[in-house]
């Protein structure tokens, strides 16, 4: 399976929304193709290099499919799109095309079935509720009440101010309960640093 990649300085998670402003020809062409074919593209996190100009020197091997949910012409004349995170994937091989677009051979990662939330998730749910009330988060239109452990883990991992390496580690973890446990540990570390 091949997927065009959009390396960014962010980590996208399944079910989460991201607003992008598109101005480079390679990405305008890519978005146009994806929308015509009803397909997504891959978002991978840049480890070395920049978002604009030449193709990123190095990016994460794990990424998330991005599906265009909305688009508009911005007042500045640029194309604004809103994407939703789809399936997770691992990059097997990548090549940079002459127009500097990166095309990758990918393998989709297994998505375990959604598991219901329980009483032990009350604190994390309350935290997500507080994060969702922030105007910037609210403007993304993500559901503030997740429908299971997977959705809760993904939204928290996406919205919390964690290090890129921590976010990538969370994206790679296959089981939602393990991811939620790791988030709890990271939150305790964050609180410890603040005291």
Token pair 């604004």 is found at 80
Q: What is the DSSP letter of 112?
A: P
Confidence at residue 45, expressed as pLDDT on a 0 to 100 scale: 94
What's the CATH number of domain 119-194, 1.20.58, 3.30.200, 3.10.105, 1.10.3470? 1.20.58
Mean pLDDT score of the chain = 90
Whole-prediction pTM value? 0.91
d(CA 156, CA 169): 14
Cα separations (Å) of 67 from 1, 14, 106, 126, 145?
16, 10, 16, 28, 21
Q: What's the token pair of residue 189?
A: 């570390």
119-176 tens-digit pLDDT: 999 999 999 999 998 898 889 888 778 989 999 999 999 999 999 999 999 999 989 9
Confidence at residue 75, expressed as pLDDT on a 0 to 100 scale: 85
Q: Where are the domains of the chain?
A: 2-108, 119-194
Start-to-end CA span in the chain (Å) = 48
Render each residue's pLDDT in the chain as its tens digit; 195 residues. Answer: 899 999 999 999 999 999 999 988 889 999 999 999 999 999 999 987 655 555 556 899 999 999 999 999 888 888 999 999 999 999 999 998 888 889 999 999 998 889 999 999 999 999 999 999 889 888 988 877 898 999 999 999 999 999 999 999 999 998 999 999 999 999 988 877 766
CATH architecture of the domain covering 2-108: Roll (2.30)
Let me know: does 110 contact 128? Beta carbons within 8 Å: no
Q: Fold identical between 2-108 and 119-194?
A: no
Q: Give the CB-side neighbour count of residue 51, counting CA atoms within 13 A.
A: 12
d(CA 84, CA 65): 8
């Amino acid at each position: 399976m091949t997927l065009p990649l959009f390396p960014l300085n962010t980590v996208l998670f399944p079910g989460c929304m991201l607003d992008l402003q598109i101005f480079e020809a390679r990405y305008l062409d890519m978005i146009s193709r994806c929308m015509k074919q009803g397909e997504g593209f891959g978002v991978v996190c840049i480890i070395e290099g920049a978002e604009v100009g030449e193709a990123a020197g190095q990016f994460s091997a794990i990424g998330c499919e991005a599906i265009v949910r909305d688009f508009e012409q911005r007042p500045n004349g640029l194309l604004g799109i809103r994407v939703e995170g789809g399936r997770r994937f691992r990059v097997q091989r990548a090549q940079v095309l002459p127009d500097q677009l990166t095309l990758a051979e990918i393998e989709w990662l297994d998505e375990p079935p959604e598991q219901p939330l329980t009483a032990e998730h009350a604190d994390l749910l309350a935290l997500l509720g507080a994060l969702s009330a922030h105007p910037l988060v609210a403007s993304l239109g993500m559901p503030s009440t997740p429908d299971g452990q997977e959705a809760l883990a993904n939204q928290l991992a996406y919205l919390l101010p964690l290090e890129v390496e921590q976010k990538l580690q969370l994206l790679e973890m296959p089981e939602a309960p393990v991811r939620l446990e790791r988030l709890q540990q990271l939150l305790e570390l964050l609180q410890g640093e603040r005291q």
